[in-house]
Amino acid sequence: MSRSEELFARARRWIPGGVNSPVRAFRAVGGTPPFVARGEGARLFDVDGRSYIDYVGSYGPLILGHAHPRVVEAVCQAARLGATFGAPTEGEVALARVLVEAVPSLEEVRLVSSGTEATMSAIRLSRAATGRSGVVKFRGGYHGHVDALLVESGSGASTLGVPSSPGVPAAVVEQTHLLPYNDLAAAQALFDRSGAEIACVIVEPVAGNMGVVPPEPGFLEGLRRLTREHGAVLIFDEVITGFRVAYGGAQARLGVTPDLTCLGKVIGGGMPIGAYGGLRELMEQVAPAGPVYQAGTLAGNPVAVAAGLRTLEILREEDPYPALEEVSARLADGLAEAARDAGICVQVQRVGSLLGLFFTEAPVRDAAGVAAADGAAFRRFFHAMLDAGVYLAPSPWEAWFVSTAHRAAEIDATVEAARRAFRIAAER
């Protein structure tokens, strides 16, 4: 028995499913997840002494790779001064300023401890500001485990949702409308019908929780127009895309500005953090400036803030985005060619250093497209890659994350591994 197998067996005795977040348990692909001992740059090392080229990057925060020396230094320095105070600190002001200067829609910003808290709070604020309760989200979009957003399609012609998890009362998701991503006509029809009841539309401006699905031209612009016409709040969930697809996020890259923006991941440099912010007139309604309650014991945590500040400082100083674009394109092109050579049909969809790989014949534009892809081929591919020392997210619904620590050597080794893995995926 490997050390990972032994640990996984023990973990299941004391932790539900053996993990602290479901995707880590390898349910979609089968097998035992390697237990990680440490990371360095683009590489992960497991407790059995194996090393992997890592394309998970903790699902997004690690744009500079694992244990970047300057980020580690900032964390150690901050920790020595005390981990948390429950009182204002200078670092919070510095991080708020950096965020507001970088992200076009931000005039004020509130720090929280996770992406889930950011989206939950942004929805509460939207409802308070509009006096309405309807929420619009898109199938295949993930915004954390907020009750109102844990929703599946209802039956019949209704677009209204039913809970996707036990424990979420039907009444909580009754106000949540579910639409297909990239379908502006469906959004238009919904607003024509129920515009006066809709508080907000929440959307990932580049979908990163159904592999990677870019917004089609006009989709985000159309949501901007509809929300403006009907007095609803447009929320961009940039927890993945913020400081990832461009320094100022997808809104800077694509030129569409929402009313509220949710952030997380990269802005904490690997430490727990989230943030939401936007128009001053909205944010001034948040307590204690206004009546909309939202709080956090560890919000603005000094160690997380220090890791985030240092990460964003490096991103500003080094502007790695052109290089990330180049390295990620090399990966995407290499994967596409390797698949062609293996005679298997895949779609490689990429925006900056976010990449999605689908075993399907047509470009994927929504959740239905992801669901139609070949899951068994993905499982064979995933395990062949893992055996070859390439660590991918254990689900076809997750993105690949490229970091500044991924250089041509890692990319070429990955493509080499993929040549064989695609041949295995193609076998029935």
Q: Which position among 239, 331, 342, 373 is part of the footprint of ligand PMP (CB under 6 A)?
A: 239
Q: Which position among 46, 108, 237, 366 is part of the footprint of ligand PMP (CB under 6 A)?
A: 237
Structure tokens at 382: 């995933």
Positions 269 through 308 that interact with ligand PMP (CB under 6 A)? 274
Q: Which 3 state secondary structure label does DSSP give 264?
A: strand
143 binds ligand PMP (CB under 6 A): yes
Structure tokens at 288: 């204690």
Task: Give the nearest residue (CB) to ligand PMP.
Answer: 115
Q: Which position among 134, 222, 258, 264 is part of the footprint of ligand PMP (CB under 6 A)?
A: 264
Asked if 237 is an active-site residue, the reply is: yes
394 binds ligand PMP (CB under 6 A): no
Task: Tell me whether residue 165 is exposed, middle or buried, using C-beta atoms within 10 angstroms of its C-beta: 0 to 12, 13 to 18, 19 or more.
Answer: exposed
Residue (393 or 425) nearer to ligand PMP, CB: 393
Residue (273 or 377) nearer to ligand PMP, CB: 273
240 binds ligand PMP (CB under 6 A): yes
> Which three-class secondary structure string do you get for 84-133?
CCCCCCHHHHHHHHHHHHHCCCCCEEEEECCHHHHHHHHHHHHHHHHCCC
β 51-54/43-46 pair status: antiparallel
Number of Cα atoms under 13 Å in the Cβ half of residue 389 = 17
- Select which of 142, 181, 321, 391 is catalytic: 142
236 binds ligand PMP (CB under 6 A): no
Q: Do 289 and 250 touch, CB atoms closer than 8 A?
A: no
β 151-153/161-163 pair status: antiparallel
CA distances from 358 to 141, 179, 293, 349 (A): 17, 22, 42, 8
209 binds ligand PMP (CB under 6 A): yes
Residue (334 or 396) nearer to ligand PMP, CB: 396
Asked if 137 is an active-site residue, the reply is: no
Residue (36 or 417) nearer to ligand PMP, CB: 36
Of 128-136, 141-149, 358-366, 369-377, the window that binds ligand PMP (rule: CB under 6 A) is: 141-149
Structure tokens at 111: 């720090």
Question: Contact letters (x/-) for ligand PMP, 99-128, by CB under 6 A?
Answer: ---------------xxx--x---------
Q: What share of the chain is helix, strand, coil (3-state, %, to 5)?
A: 45, 20, 40
Q: How many CB atoms lie within 10 A of CB 228?
A: 11
CB of 114 to ligand PMP, least distance (A): 4
- In 310-325, which positions are buried (b, 16+ CB within 10 angstroms) versus exposed (e)? bbbbbbeeeebbeebb
Asked if 48 is an active-site residue, the reply is: no
Number of residues that bind ligand PMP (CB under 6 A): 16
Of 96-104, 138-146, 351-359, 371-379, the window that binds ligand PMP (rule: CB under 6 A) is: 138-146
Binding site for ligand PMP (CB under 6 A): 59, 114-116, 119, 142-144, 204, 208-209, 237, 239-240, 264, 274
